[in-house]
Structure 1
Amino acid sequence: MKHDVLQGTVDRLKNREKLGLFALNVIGIKDGGEKCKLLLSDTKDQIKCTVGREPTLFFKQRNGEKGCTLVISKYQLVKTSSETEVLNILGIDDVFVPGSVQKKSSQQGQENIENGGVEKCSEEPAAGEGIQAPQKNERFDTSGMVKISDLNPYTKEQCFVARVVRKSGIKHWENQKEQCFVARVVRKSGIKHWENQKGSGKLFDVAVRDETGEIRITGFKEDVDTFHGVLVSGNVYVFSNINVKLTEHRGASGEFSNMYSGVFSKNSNIKTFEGDTRNIPGIGFNFQSIKEIEKANERDMVDVLGVVESVGEVGRIVIKSTMREMEKKEIIIADSSGLSIVVTLWSDAMPFVSENDVGCVVAFKGVRVSNYGGVRLGTVFDMTVIIVNPDLPEAKELRTWYAGPEGRSGRRMSLSSGGSRKRRHEDAGKADILCLLEQTSGVYEVACFLADIRSEKISYQSCPKENCKKKVLEEGVGVYRCEKCNEEYDHCAYRYILNVVLSDHTEQCFVTFFDEEANALLGVSAESLEDMRKSSEDEYKAFLKTKMNQDLSVVVSCKFDEYNGENRWRGVAERSEKLDYASEAKRLLDELLF
């Protein structure tokens, strides 16, 4: 007997409700041999899971894969050292793989597609002519339609009603199935062009919304010409024959609230919907306070509401991978949590906030979290929505707070400054290295010893200008060029990029020490050490050897990076100091006693 995946299951688990048999969708798998880790979803929320040996064996025997449905019979909810809640799966009742389930078609939905008069605008407009708007659908039968929350990539010929929220880029798709729905356009991207060894092309995408959720739809190549000029933000349309795929998403933003996304195909049709659209909402926000964002993981997507306190000047940087120059502008926003944060507005988002908006409330939907020099936020091209002075209840409350004594004249700490970094170090969870290597992100304090220093490359040539750490290009004898500053210098500065091996009783790992932390570790500048290496290689290696086997307490920021198509663990030292044996012994004793 197959169990349905019910929205709200993850919330019930986190609220410690006792559940019997329940089903969740598998949207991510990390195979660890005898055990595995899963990312499960109830189509609304996600939860990370660890699977024991016997359930893992059962899962593999049933050919469990990404996209299947898992029926869980026995579980335990545990908290990690970073306070993240993880589901420990102890028993699996059944595994339903999509490929093994007979797909059924909806005759009523098929009749709607054939007889509903949903026509595809396939002809391109003649030169000088505007794009013809889609035909109106005055008597469209919506009885066969489903809601966005009911969409899945394994059932053909479904229909639903929704509002288009935005357009943006998706480059891969799988498990394509035909779909039909009605949607309101809330946001629409521009056309993106790409070119690689396989050829060139273009794409765009939109996000659609109804009262149950959101979904994104992408168009490629000829579908860009067919649909991009037809769709208008805010209007409601009937979409049919949309391919739905399972997609991984991250972050708490409503922008990524649906585990599925759609792709236009050659059979896709669009028609204007004429009916009662009052129940089809526009853009939705899932605001987090700045205090909550402090605990978010790097690269999470969040929605935030804040008062603009300052607007910086326009700056320019050169993207190393493409050598393309981009403009950016940094603003500072604050909210009633008593904290402020820097938001970087990249080129396309810069016009939305100006110096005249200081003191105004601004809503951001879909900004990315980064931990560069503290916690910061940044807009994402063709994805972030910015609304100045939104007509929202939360915005009115924030204006009232800012007008009071704790608002405009109140003192607050910035998450994007060193103060936030110090707080992160104080709140860092204790971990051994084996536990550290299992973490996907976070900041942890490790008691260890310095087992090795990689002496091959310990520093790089950087820009000598103050507050610029960019690597310079050597363009001739004694000529160094900084692409960020767009200037040439007759000398350069050496900065550490020191790779070391840390070890304890459980495991060892590679950690990178950058300039400030490496200076504190070695007690000598990168410039002096490079001079020593040039004068005597033996003296240089002997010096590094004297620094090994130190007992240290190191605060490590860890995350997974993608490298050559594979995920790899990366650790960066944020602070290191001599191990305090007395405090470490007391901590270990407390762990034994309690």
Structure 2
Amino acid sequence: MEKLTQNAISRLLNGENVSKPCLQVLAYKRVVSEGQPRYRLMLSDGTHSFQTCIMMGPLIPRLEKGEFERFTIIQLNQYVVNTVQDNKKVIVILDPEVKWKGTEINGKIGSPEMFNFGAPSNSNTNTCGGRILAPSNPSPLRNPAFSARSSTTNGSGLFHSRNTSGEPFNEQRGISSSPNLDMNLNICRIQDINPYLNRWAFKGRATAKTPIRTWSNAKGEGKVFSFDMQDDSGEIRITAFKNECDRYYDLIEVGKVYTVTKGTIKTANRKFSQVNHDYEITLNSDSIVLPSDDNDRHCPKITFKFVKIKDIANYNVDSIIDVLGICRDVSELVTLTQKNTGRELKKREISLIDDTETEIRLAFWGNEAENFSASEGSVVMVKKARVSDFNGKSLTSVSSSFVQIDPQLTEAYGLKGWYERMRDNMQITKLSVNSATSDSGTWRTLNEVSVESISSNGGSLVFSAKATIVQVGRTQIYMSCPTTGCKKKLVDMNNGFYKCDKCQRDFDNYSPRIILSLAISDSLNEVWISMFHDEAEKILGVNGGELMAMKDNDETQFDELMTSLNFKSFIFRLRSSIDHYKEETRVRTTVLSVSPLNLVEYGKKLLSKLREMDI
């Protein structure tokens, strides 16, 4: 019994603050709620046991590896006791430390009985331990917006955190300067935000903000924007829909500090967020977001982890990085049509270089593309750019990207000085290409395309190759939906109409589209490739309608056209990926673009390669 903290269970559940209690693990069970795995543990102090103790997030791998096996004694360095629905209590374990392994104890200590909630308890206090503490006499909240009738609270008092040095986390936080919040309001760290907190609040700096996005569908229409906030413990994504979008969009400014309380905490949607937090927050009508003291030491200035442009070649596709570079050129604003929706998108590309004498293309979208105003020689800083394999290695902005022109950073001043000294004496290596014949570091021979090389490159390999068509396989011409942006194959209704399952419409016409299967070869290997409509029309010299008519009416001419492709050489831009089919692993290669072989340019390419090899 001396290994366990006496009566810790009853003291915790009755609202007492117990510092670093030692408890024994009697059992645990995996549960899944809203897609988020958690473990429910039964803990004992030798006298009482309690079976609603929760471990989640980064603790799960430790538990599944056996660190908290049965009979293990753990010390709760950090925990939260919450009141949830129907006045039930939950102990959320945040920082457990193994004091004795289960194999060392090898049995249950004492004869613990299940804790009886018949004893009086304080249901209005969040009891916290270790670095998270609760005030023994919480000050009443004077703002009625914090009343217990809120759908996101259950009457528990707010708590405050301590940082790793043990200082109270809310000391001199500047909250009293906000007239709508009580000056004694206690807040938690962003890292500790989870669905088991009842009445929470936190303070952080806005590090990113998305444009407003609108939608309209059968369920209605609306608008949404998101912003990311950070303190010295971590970051989190916050989203505002409809009325809350209007309410907070103009208030939020990147770089400013805000206090946030009330909202729905749910599992983070990784499809839309690159923020490193298990949860995200959706604001509602009860939420409060107020500007706060900008000099709070617990809300550090936005920090950057810049990646040198040369090193981006080693990053996997979809990696999120920070980059700093000199703008070398800016393209015109172009309008593209999204294939699956037909929606128009604005795009602008720029070239960035840095002191590694390496260049990369960076694409901006939407408002960022329209408003981009940097000129040649400006320093461009982007926080949270996504690595892409479009036309070699390139970068693209995402909704949470933060962009600054000529930022006041030491690194920016140094890069500007380098550019002024070296601008006329640089030997630039390009990671991105504008066409299949451009110089890039992604030229390969066909024998380099293998399951091993693709796997080691993140599952996809994009490269250029000079190759010759040696065989024409099956040629498909299918009837596709005539709607702009939709390429879905139509179903012939046999009544003069064709149905598109995607658009849910019937048409009396269609758009013929081509798919070619070709074998191409270089001096070392032969591979089969798929070539789709636009590129197929280029090498055939006819459009889809003409090819369909030829196949239906003059099969001899059709065969001659297909045969004429044999032994023609092109510069192919290819994407190879791994395909799994019926327990067989194979390489699938598709054509991204095809260009005529320019012998002069290709000769220069070979000479340059020979020089690199010192031949």
TM-score of the aligned structures, taking structure 1 as reference length: 0.54
Q: Secondary structure at 2:476's aligned position in 1?
A: coil
* Counterpart in the other structure of 2:402: 385
Q: Secondary structure at 2:414's aligned position in 1?
A: helix
Query: How far apart in 2 are the matches of 1:421 and 1:515?
Result: 26
Q: Secondary structure at 1:404's aligned position in 2?
A: helix
Query: How far apart in 2 are the matches of 1:293 and 1:335?
Result: 12
Q: Is the 8 A contact 1:430 1:444 kept in 2?
A: no
Instruction: Please give the residue correspondences for 1:463-474 in structure 2 after superposition, counting only pairs within 5 Å.
Output: none
Query: How far apart in 2 are the matches of 1:376 and 1:556?
Result: 15
**1:185 maps to 2:206:** yes
Query: How far apart in 1 are the matches of 2:58 and 2:126?
Result: 22
Query: Once the 2 structures are TM-superposed, how far is the Cα of residue 344 of structure 1 from its aligned partner?
Result: 2.6
* Counterpart in the other structure of 1:394: 411
Query: Alpha carbon RMSD of aligned pairs, Å?
Result: 5.6
Q: Is the 8 A contact 1:307 1:333 kept in 2?
A: yes
Query: Once the 2 structures are TM-superposed, how far is the Cα of residue 277 of structure 1 from its aligned partner?
Result: 0.9
The one-letter amino acid of 1:216's match is R
CA change 1:240–1:572 in 2 (3 A) is same
Query: Once the 2 structures are TM-superposed, how far is the Cα of residue 66 of structure 1 from its aligned partner?
Result: 9.7
**1:533 maps to 2:551:** yes
The one-letter amino acid of 2:376's match is V
* Counterpart in the other structure of 1:70: 61
Query: How far apart in 2 are the matches of 1:120 and 1:427?
Result: 67
Query: How far apart in 2 are the matches of 1:451 and 1:413?
Result: 36
**1:403 maps to 2:394:** no
**1:282 maps to 2:307:** no
* Counterpart in the other structure of 1:140: 184
The one-letter amino acid of 1:380's match is V
**1:115 maps to 2:144:** no
Deviations 1:286-323 (A, max 9, x none): 32222222333444433211101122333333444454
CA change 1:234–1:333 in 2 (3 A) is closer
* Counterpart in the other structure of 1:151: 193
Q: Is the 8 A contact 1:513 1:573 kept in 2?
A: yes
CA change 1:399–1:111 in 2 (3 A) is farther
* Counterpart in the other structure of 2:288: 269
Query: Once the 2 structures are TM-superposed, how far is the Cα of residue 431 of structure 1 from its aligned partner?
Result: 6.6
Instruction: Please give the residue correspondences for 1:358-437 in structure 2 after superposition, counting only pairs within 5 Å.
Output: 358-381=376-399, 383-405=400-422, 407-417=423-433, 418=436, 423-426=441-444
**From 292, 298, 320, the counterpart of 2:311:** 292
Deviations 1:368-400 (A, max 9, x none): 33333333333335x322111111222122123
Q: Is the 8 A contact 2:331 2:349 kept in 1?
A: yes
Q: Is the 8 A contact 1:458 1:499 kept in 2?
A: no
Query: How far apart in 2 are the matches of 1:65 and 1:184?
Result: 26
Deviations 1:3-42 (A, max 9, x none): xxxxxxxxxxxxxxxxxxxxxx999xx9xxxxxxx99xxx
Q: Is the 8 A contact 1:461 1:495 kept in 2?
A: no
CA change 1:457–1:450 in 2 (3 A) is farther
Query: Once the 2 structures are TM-superposed, how far is the Cα of residue 349 of structure 1 from its aligned partner?
Result: 1.4
**From 432, 451, 460, the counterpart of 1:442:** 460
Deviations 1:486-532 (A, max 9, x none): xxxxxxx9996435799xxxxxx996335798799xx9666697675
Q: Secondary structure at 2:244's aligned position in 1?
A: helix
Gaps of 5+ in 2: 1-29, 38-54, 71-83, 93-124, 128-132, 148-176, 488-510, 521-526, 567-571, 580-586, 595-615
CA change 1:429–1:354 in 2 (3 A) is farther
Query: How far apart in 1 are the matches of 2:549 and 2:534?
Result: 19
Instruction: Please give the residue correspondences for 1:483-562 in structure 2 after superposition, counting only pairs within 5 Å.
Output: 497-498=515-516, 512-514=530-532, 533-537=551-555, 556-558=575-577
Gaps of 5+ in 1: 1-24, 31-37, 40-63, 75-90, 123-132, 158-177, 463-468, 472-492, 503-508, 561-568, 577-594
CA change 1:276–1:326 in 2 (3 A) is closer
Query: How far apart in 1 are the matches of 2:297 and 2:250?
Result: 25
Query: How far apart in 1 are the matches of 2:329 and 2:269?
Result: 36
Count of matched residue positions in the alignment of Structure 1 and Structure 2: 412
Q: Secondary structure at 2:323's aligned position in 1?
A: strand
Query: Once the 2 structures are TM-superposed, how far is the Cα of residue 359 of structure 1 from its aligned partner?
Result: 0.8
**1:456 maps to 2:492:** no
* Counterpart in the other structure of 1:337: 356
Query: How far apart in 1 are the matches of 2:31 and 2:331?
Result: 44
Query: How far apart in 2 are the matches of 1:106 and 1:234?
Result: 31
CA change 1:555–1:280 in 2 (3 A) is same
CA change 1:210–1:543 in 2 (3 A) is same
Query: How far apart in 2 are the matches of 1:427 and 1:156?
Result: 57
Query: Once the 2 structures are TM-superposed, how far is the Cα of residue 149 of structure 1 from its aligned partner?
Result: 2.5
Query: Once the 2 structures are TM-superposed, how far is the Cα of residue 208 of structure 1 from its aligned partner?
Result: 0.8
Deviations 1:224-274 (A, max 9, x none): 3444454454443321223333325489x9x63334322113443334445
Query: Once the 2 structures are TM-superposed, how far is the Cα of residue 424 of structure 1 from its aligned partner?
Result: 2.5
* Counterpart in the other structure of 1:257: 276
Query: How far apart in 2 are the matches of 1:440 and 1:425?
Result: 18
Query: Once the 2 structures are TM-superposed, how far is the Cα of residue 189 of structure 1 from its aligned partner?
Result: 3.9
Q: Is the 8 A contact 2:454 2:578 kept in 1?
A: no
Query: Once the 2 structures are TM-superposed, how far is the Cα of residue 539 of structure 1 from its aligned partner?
Result: 7.6
Query: Once the 2 structures are TM-superposed, how far is the Cα of residue 69 of structure 1 from its aligned partner?
Result: 1.6
Q: Is the 8 A contact 2:432 2:440 kept in 1?
A: no
Query: How far apart in 2 are the matches of 1:118 and 1:450?
Result: 78
Q: Secondary structure at 1:366's aligned position in 2?
A: strand
Query: How far apart in 1 are the matches of 2:446 and 2:281?
Result: 40
Instruction: Please give the residue correspondences for 1:26-65 in structure 2 after superposition, counting only pairs within 5 Å.
Output: none
Query: Once the 2 structures are TM-superposed, how far is the Cα of residue 412 of structure 1 from its aligned partner?
Result: 0.7
* Counterpart in the other structure of 1:217: 238
* Counterpart in the other structure of 1:572: 590
Q: Is the 8 A contact 1:181 1:238 kept in 2?
A: yes
* Counterpart in the other structure of 1:305: 324
CA change 1:421–1:151 in 2 (3 A) is farther
TM-score of the aligned structures, taking structure 2 as reference length: 0.52
CA change 1:518–1:68 in 2 (3 A) is farther
Query: How far apart in 2 are the matches of 1:403 and 1:554?
Result: 35
* Counterpart in the other structure of 2:126: 106
Query: How far apart in 1 are the matches of 2:233 and 2:474?
Result: 54
Query: How far apart in 1 are the matches of 2:380 and 2:208?
Result: 17
Query: How far apart in 1 are the matches of 2:473 and 2:593?
Result: 17
The one-letter amino acid of 1:388's match is I
The one-letter amino acid of 2:190's match is I
Of stretches 273-282 and 337-346 in structure 1, the one that deviates more from structure 2 is: 273-282
Q: Is the 8 A contact 1:429 1:443 kept in 2?
A: no
Query: How far apart in 1 are the matches of 2:139 and 2:481?
Result: 66
Deviations 1:337-360 (A, max 9, x none): 2211222333411465436x3212
Query: Percent identical across equivalent pairs?
Result: 23
Deviations 1:39-69 (A, max 9, x none): 9xxxxxxxxxxxxxxxxxxxxxxxx999982
Q: Is the 8 A contact 1:291 1:339 kept in 2?
A: yes
Q: Is the 8 A contact 1:26 1:65 kept in 2?
A: no
Deviations 1:159-207 (A, max 9, x none): xxxxxxxxxxxxxxxxxxx642112334444443221111122222221
Query: How far apart in 2 are the matches of 1:136 and 1:276?
Result: 20
Q: Secondary structure at 1:443's aligned position in 2?
A: strand
Query: Once the 2 structures are TM-superposed, how far is the Cα of residue 362 of structure 1 from its aligned partner?
Result: 0.9
